[in-house]
């Protein structure tokens, strides 16, 4: 008679808290940082096309449009983090499997539907976003390709979410690294036509991204079905998918979606106010945001691992450990962003010079980075608190914070300063900075009250 030895499941709810945070968060951090480095390299290649600053400006303007569409990702993704990690923490592995499959289905269908809408209205969207002339043409060409592949890009992020939720962060990291390497290889091939590939310019960057997303999603899905992860997917599981449980995932994510939609929508509104200052300012803003987002990517990566870890602790009825984990993660985030803020403040201009030859453009970008760097520690706290709430399944506080920050603090002030009082683009950066600091202070005071420890999902 043969004996079946069940694979031991990973459990990070015991032992050192900081080690648990790092074990769950560092793999995600490495993966997200690598993914973000791809975007920086993408901008680098685009800045060296004959179109130069116009190419970077076009992709920057489109990215603000894409951000609005990707906010729908939170509608499903945020709820899936809470459900998958909580079920895994409860050791209800069949329910975790079902939640993963439901997430994949919902993400792919939503992404395809939104991609079709975006494809049909791309010309109007890029025009409203502030693009004109050749910048408008480049933005349309780039956006059409990205919208066509949006179903796969949506679903790909859920591969990473699923693996972190079932305590396989290293595997999620490996797939993200593989996706980034593939992107880095394909980018110059499709943009410049190396090794016999078609020379597609700006469109080539989009083709490289869509190809990478598609192959990554297929690879991750196959891995989840092979049984090497802590939870294995089956074509027919013990617990069938249902509209009721899918609705539960979406319901948890509604506040996060509203918050993301509010913030991304505000960026869409603000972009034309920035575009009036010219392609050089838009291009420096695009690259400056990518440089700033190095720190954001590090913290989002750690935070996504943290969100799953919070879910595991609460699923295992370890509220005190969840509270200590959250507090230590916030301090860690502030420390990381403080160090990065100092580096960006002093060396941001040198990095800008890698992208642009124009002294004016480099100067615009350097000034932007100095202003943003001052607010880095506060953004670190904001990102980590948002991820803690994601792991709990309580997303209303972050929704209110993001909506208030965007629509009550930022947009009115930016409009008055730039459109009525005729301040230059630096007024936009200072407004973004101070409004975020105010929003973070309010969110942290609410977080300290501790209601999040008692949420049921």
Cβ-proximal residues to 274 (8 Å cutoff; 6+ apart), any chain: 130, 281, 282, 285, 425, 428
Could you read off the pLDDT of 106-133 as tens digits, one per residue?
A: 999 999 999 999 999 999 999 998 888 9
User: For the chain, how far is it from start to end, CA to CA, in angstroms?
Assistant: 41
CA distances to 152, 271, 276, 403 from 61, rounded to whole Å, are: 22, 7, 12, 21
- In the chain, the percentage of residues whose pLDDT exceeds 90 is 46
Nearest to 363 by CA among 280, 446, 436: 280
- DSSP designation for 235: S
How large is the average pLDDT for residues 332-359? 92
Give pLDDT, residue 15: 66
DSSP annotation of 130 reads T
**Closest by CA position to 45, among listed 200, 177, 149:** 200
Tokens of 216: 């990554």
Mean pLDDT, the chain, rounded, equals: 87
**pLDDT score for 10:** 60
Residue with tokens 């870890």: 309
Q: Measure the CA–CA gap between 225 and 212, rounded to whole angstroms.
A: 20
| Choice between 33 and 194, residue whose per-residue pLDDT is larger | 194
Task: Read off the DSSP letter of residue 451.
Answer: G
Tens digit of pLDDT for each residue in 88-97? 888 899 999 9
More confident residue, 39 or 346: 346
Chain mean position to CA 403 = 17
Q: How confident is the model at residue 82 (pLDDT cuts 50, 70, 90)?
A: confident
How far apart, in Å, are the Cα atoms of 37 and each of 91, 109, 176? Answer: 36, 28, 12
Q: What's the residue count for the chain?
A: 457
Q: How far is residue 210's CA from residue 357's CA, in Å, rounded to a whole number? A: 30
What does the block give as tokens for 65?
């449009």
Q: What is the mean pLDDT of the segment spanning 226-255? A: 89
Which ranges of 90-132 does DSSP label H, i.e. alpha helix? 93-120, 122-128
Rounded average pLDDT over 301-306: 76
pLDDT at 35 over 80: no
């Amino acid at each position: 008679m043969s004996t079946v030895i069940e694979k031991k499941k990973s459990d990070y709810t015991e032992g050192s808290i900081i080690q648990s945070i790092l074990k769950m968060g560092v793999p995600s951090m490495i993966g997200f940082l690598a993914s973000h480095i791809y975007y920086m390299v993408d901008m680098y290649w685009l800045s060296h096309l004959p179109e130069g600053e116009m190419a970077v400006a076009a992709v920057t303007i489109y990215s603000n449009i894409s951000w609005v569409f990707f906010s729908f990702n939170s509608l499903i993704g945020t709820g899936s983090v809470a459900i998958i990690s909580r079920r895994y923490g409860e050791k209800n592995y069949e329910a975790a499997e079902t939640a993963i499959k439901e997430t994949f289905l919902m993400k792919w269908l939503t992404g395809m539907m939104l991609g079709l809408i975006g494809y049909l209205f791309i010309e109007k969207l890029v025009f409203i976003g502030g693009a004109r002339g050749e910048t408008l043409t480049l933005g349309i060409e780039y956006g059409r390709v990205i919208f066509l592949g949006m179903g796969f890009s949506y679903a790909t992020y859920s591969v990473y979410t699923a693996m972190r939720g079932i305590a396989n962060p290293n595997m999620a990291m490996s797939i993200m690294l593989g996706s980034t390497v593939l992107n880095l290889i394909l980018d110059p091939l499709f943009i410049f036509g190396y090794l016999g590939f078609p020379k597609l310019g700006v469109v080539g960057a989009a083709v490289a991204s869509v190809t990478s997303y598609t192959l990554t999603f297929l690879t991750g899905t196959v891995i989840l079905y092979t049984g090497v992860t802590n939870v294995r997917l089956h074509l027919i599981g013990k617990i069938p998918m249902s509209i009721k449980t899918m609705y539960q995932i979406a319901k948890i994510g509604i506040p996060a979606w509203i918050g993301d939609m509010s913030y991304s929508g505000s960026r869409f509104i603000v972009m034309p106010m920035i575009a009036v200052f010219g392609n050089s300012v838009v291009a420096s803003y695009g690259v400056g945001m990518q440089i700033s987002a190095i720190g954001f990517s590090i913290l989002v990566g750690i935070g996504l691992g943290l969100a799953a870890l919070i879910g595991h602790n609460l699923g295992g009825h370890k509220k005190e450990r969840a509270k200590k984990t959250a507090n230590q993660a916030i301090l860690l985030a502030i420390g990381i962003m403080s160090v990065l803020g100092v580096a960006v403040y002093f060396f941001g201009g040198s990095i800008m010079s890698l992208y642009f030859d124009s002294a004016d453009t480099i100067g615009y970008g350097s000034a932007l980075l100095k202003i943003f760097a001052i607010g880095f520690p506060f953004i670190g706290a904001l990102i980590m608190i948002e991820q803690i709430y994601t792991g709990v399944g309580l997303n209303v506080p972050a929704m209110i914070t993001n909506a208030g920050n965007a629509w009550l603090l930022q947009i009115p002030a930016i409009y008055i300063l730039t459109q009525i009082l005729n301040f230059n683009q630096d007024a936009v950066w200072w407004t973004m900075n101070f409004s975020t600091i105010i929003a973070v202070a309010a969110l942290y005071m609410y977080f300290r009250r501790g209601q999040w420890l008692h949420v049921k999902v």
